[in-house]
Amino acid sequence: MNPKFEFTDSIKKALYYMIGIGVLGLLLVFFLYRENNHARFWSNILANTYFFTGIGLFGLFLVAAAQVAYGQWHTLVKRIFLSLSVFAAFGGFILLIIVALGLVNVHNLYAPVTHILHTGQGDPIYTTKLIYFAPAFWLGRLLVYSILWFLFSRGMNNFFARTDQTDPKVYKKSRIISAAFIVVFALTESFISWDVVMSLDPHWYSTLFGWFNFASYGCAALGMSILIIIFLKSKGYLQAVNENHVHDLGKLLFGFSIFWTYLWFDQFMLQWYANIPEETSFWVKRFDVGYFKFTIFLTLIINFAYPLFLLISRGSKRNFKTIGFGAALLIFGHYVDFFNFTFVEPNWNTEAVEAHKEAKLSTENVVLYAQAQQNENAVSDATPVKENTEVVTTAVEKTEGEVHHEEAPVNYAGIGVGELMVFIGFLGVFLYLFFNNLSKRPIMPEDDPFLKECERLEVTYA
Amino acid sequence: MEEPNKVVIGLWDHEEVYLHAIEKIRAKGVQIYESLTPFPVHGLEDVLGYRDSRLHTAGFMFGTVGTIVALSFMTWTMTVNFPLDFGGKPYWPIASFIPITFEMMVLFSAWGMTLTYLVRNRLWPGMVPRIYDKRTTDDRFALVFDADNVASDKLKELRDLCMHEGAVEVKDKQFN
């Protein structure tokens, strides 16, 4: 009646293929793109580890939040949320290793920070930030998060596997553990986003970056659990889970998408309006390069416009096809979002950018010169203004044409076949750990006090 | 919809009995004019066969109107009517319009939905609401049937049906 998930060989085989594709992709990226000390390879590992660790942590957070609030809607799929977190138990250590390797110059992801750490000279704006990025403190923090995540992932998985959940004392204890995890999650999730992603560009800062990443994790984790529920139902498991439970998850998915957009726009609009060079450098980098401008607006379309128009109605959240498609699309959208954060700075071709700036400056000089000349003419010959503008435009067109030929690629990375292969590989590892954990105990927590209530869940509105 | 002058009111004292009674009465093909309960009864809309409320569609429309009004008005003032240079931003700084557009969207849809709701439910100022039975705010679940132009033997059948389905009281009421 309540079977364990059978981790069959065919599923295992498919996952092994996925992992194989990922390894192949990593090799491909490593040997094909050698620029900036294989920056693209390391960016791939960083982005994917960060993404899937976030999904895992959010799965744990969903259980914790519902448990603290005496929730019952999640009871049937509790073990799915818990199993998401197995990757996060190890993801923290991978992030720690990435930063440690950056500090010993194996790769150049954290070069802006490590350069100044090693040489002691550089931009004076970094001096206060260097206290935060002192190697011992930096690695120590990461070690603390990793250990906490490992302990909570293991601890909560084991705790909710207990068969005496109906005992009020055990239930009370589960709420204490959950409350503790919410505090840990709130802190570590913000700190990890500053430590491994915002530090790629130590000049830039955004005070809502932690929240922003939290919203991204939320969308990706909810999308992942919806897809997994649909998959498990198609295999004949989780018969008690019906469209009401998926509807609840869909509502959260919709809500988190809007929340993500709200934070994205806040971050952008305030920095654009304030126009402080320290903050706008982040956006200038992305908007100057056509490719990144495209991915930035692609994320807005996928993560905002799609859920706003197609997930808002009740029917589309209760239909497994539409919600499944939406979930898959949102997972991809939030991967692209993390791509925008982790791939730009390390793969930035500084020399090409400097050349571009000089060329642009020379264009401006030509324009200014032409304008000055025309003004002189206007004073002396009383030339009509219309002709002035014509001369200026031709001058601009002329110089822009010249500049265009000299322009070198300003970035080394984009979303290519390699990136997709690595993503598939990490997804394979993630799902392998997920299914491995899920197969250890019955999918549904049979002894949970809220199980009957969850089976009768009915979503009436929205 | 015109309110009927002559009505038959059935009163129940328990929600479960009431819900079953509604199912049975509707199965007999009798039209229910109004249903009044002291608290929201779970599943009442389903047994009454109500469609989904169209209020949220109205809300979406009002929101769209608010968005268009806010965006077009700001665009007109900032580009055509009185272009101003604010901190070197373009004359059409669309990003800084978004928060105001959002507020206007919320304002329009909130006011629009409230007013639509009030008008649809005949709750405009000065309106004296018709009270079918005062106990529906206390402990009675009422069903109201339109009795205008209904033959007296049909009405007797209706009264008997209500009593048979567990009503504690059935009464006729004439308004003005």
Instruction: Note whether A275 contacts B98, CB cutoff 8 Å.
Output: no
Structure tokens given for A153: 């992932």
Do B108 and B60 have their domain in common? yes
My answer on whether B41 and B11 are in the same domain is yes
> What is the predicted pLDDT for the residue at A380?
59
- The HSE-up count of residue B29 (CA atoms within 13 Å, CB side) is 2
Range of the domain at B143: 6-51+129-174
- Worst-scoring range by mean pLDDT, A57-71, A318-332, A367-381, B57-71? A367-381
User: Is B30 part of a structural domain of the chain?
Assistant: yes
Distance CA(A47)–CA(A282), nearest Å, equals: 17
pLDDT of residue A180: 96
B87 contacts A275? CB cut-off 8 A: yes
- Average the pLDDT over A227-248 and give the result: 92
Q: Give start and end residues of each alpha helix (H) in B76-151.
A: 94-120
Tell me: the pLDDT tens digits for A448-461?
Answer: 888 888 988 888 77
- pLDDT confidence of residue B3: 80
Q: Is B80's Cβ below 8 Å from some Cβ in A? A: no
Q: What is the pLDDT of residues B125-148, one digit of tens each?
A: 888 888 888 888 999 999 999 888
Question: Coil, strand, or helix at residue B174?
Answer: strand
Of B98, B120, B142, which residue is a domain's last? B120
Confidence at A399, pLDDT banded by 50, 70, 90: low
At residue A408's C-alpha, the angle toward residues A361 and A105, to 5°, is 105
Per-residue model confidence (pLDDT) at position A448: 85
Domain presence at residue B1: no
What are the phi and psi torsion angles at A22 (to 5°)? Answer: -65, -45
One domain for residues B73 and B104: yes
Q: Percent of chain A at pLDDT above 90?
A: 54
Domain CATH code at residue B46 = 3.30.70
Interface of B with A in 86-115 (CB under 8 A): 87-89, 95-96, 98-99
Same domain as B21, residue B42: yes
Which pLDDT tens digit goes with each residue over A95-106? Answer: 999 999 999 989
* B70 shares a domain with B46: no
SS3 B117: helix
pLDDT at residue number A405: 45
Coil, helix or strand at residue B143: strand
Q: pTM of the entire structure?
A: 0.85
Closest of A252, A255, A259, A256 to residue A208, by C-alpha: A259
pLDDT of residue B42: 86
- Whether residue B35 is found in the same domain as residue B77: no
E-strand stretches of chain B: 6-12, 34-36, 141-146, 169-174
Q: pLDDT above 70 covers what percent of chain A?
A: 91
Same domain, B68 and B106: yes
How many domains are contained in chain B?
2
Higher pLDDT, A196 or B3: A196
Lowest mean pLDDT among A157-161, A386-390, A422-426, B118-122: A386-390
> Which chain B residue lies closest to A275 (C-alpha atoms)?
B87
Do residues B113 and B139 share a domain? no
Q: Is there a single domain that holds both residue B115 and residue B165?
A: no
Q: Which residue has the higher pLDDT, A176 or A390?
A: A176
Is B144 found in the same domain as B113? no
- Let me know the angle formed at the C-alpha of A426 by A50 and A190, rounded to the nearest 5 degrees: 10
Choose one of B120, B149, B165: the last residue of a domain.
B120
Q: How many CB pairs under 8 A join A and B?
A: 16
Range list of H helices, A133-242: 135-159, 168-192, 209-234
Q: For the beta carbon of residue B3, count every other beta carbon within 10 angstroms.
A: 13
Residues of B in contact with A275 (CB under 8 A): 87-88
Report the relative pairing of strands B34-36 and B141-146 from DSSP bridges.
antiparallel
Q: What is the mean pLDDT of residues A330-350?
A: 89
B43 in the same domain as B78: no
Residue B73 lies in a domain: yes
Among A247, A401, A239, smallest CA distance to A324 is for A247
Query: For each of chain B's 176 residues, which pLDDT tens digit applies?
Result: 578 888 999 999 999 999 999 999 999 888 899 899 999 988 888 899 888 788 989 999 999 999 999 999 999 999 999 998 888 888 898 888 999 999 999 999 999 999 999 988 888 888 888 888 888 899 999 999 988 888 888 889 889 999 998 899 998 888 87
Tell me the pLDDT tens digit for each residue of A286-310.
887 778 889 999 999 999 999 988 8
In a domain, B86, yes or no: yes
Give yes or no: residues B46 and B65 share one domain: no
B94 within a domain of the structure (yes/no)? yes
CA distance A383 to A405: 34
Instruction: Considering only the beta carbons, identify the residue of A272, A314, A460 that sits closest to B95.
Output: A272
Confidence band of A162 (pLDDT split at 50, 70, 90): confident
* Per-residue pLDDT at A303: 94
